[in-house]
A = this chain, B = another copy of it.
């Protein structure tokens, strides 16, 4: 793959690994927009959040190259993959960092745990326009093709004007039939968390172990401006996500408490 000066250069990754159907769908759509460096892991990295690999060295391997894309395997997290691509593998800073399509929703508080969104946030920290895509369907036979139309719309909008610094997009697509999606809705992250989170078992030696599990609780199901509401009501949700975690509105009150 030769990257010309006028080519749009796209860095593509995910957290479900190289063999995930959602990644292949996103690759197809991204090739319509530019030259693609795809980097991912052989194993799933779901729930890895913004984790960094610091105890073992990173390795990358070029698996495939043609006129349109270059595909690398990496042993690190999605965040590592973005870092090593920007710093070592790419001839120049990419124009976009695109992540997904995640197998399952990353709406509400999932943005905090998601490796998919972490890759977008990492791109954003480098000042690159970045988007994470997720399909609200964890089934092994999930149909990612319904996402294509909305990915195209969103990336066309993005190509007209860059995002402000420090903001990336968290896009969640409802799991419904083609044609049943009502459109795109700009949203805020719903308030929510997980409950009943562990399954306790005994191993063959009689020792206790736990599997992480849990049920998501939307704390504000009645609010119509959240990503959870949009998904439940068959809208594609787009949340502008900031890398600035400061609760700015609370600074004055906190100041008065410390006076």
Contacts and interface: CB of A to CB of B under 8 A. Distances in A.
A52 B54 contact: no
B246 A240 contact: yes
Given A49-B50, A210-B59, A186 B84 contact: no
Nearest to A257: B157
Interface string A27-60: 0000000000000000110111111111101111
A80 interface: yes
Contact of A51 (B49, B193, B209): B49
Given A51-B48, A186-B255, A212-B52, A247 B167 contact: yes
B258 A50 contact: no
A88 B212 CA distance: 11
Given A126-B193, A211-B57, A241 B251 contact: no
Contacts of A241: 245-247
A215 to B, nearest CB: 12
A131 interface: no
Query: For the side of the interface on A, what is the size category?
Result: 35 or more
A246 B210 contact: no
Interface stretch (A6-14, A63-71, A106-114, A136-144): A106-114
A200 to B, nearest CB: 7
B87 A197 contact: yes
Contacts of A24: none
Contact of A212 (B43, B53, B251, B254): B53
Given A50-B113, A111-B245, A126-B193, 16 more contacts: A48-B51, A48-B52, A49-B50, A50-B50, A53-B212, A54-B212, A58-B209, A79-B113, A84-B197, A88-B198, A157-B257, A157-B258, A160-B257, A188-B248, A189-B245, A240-B250
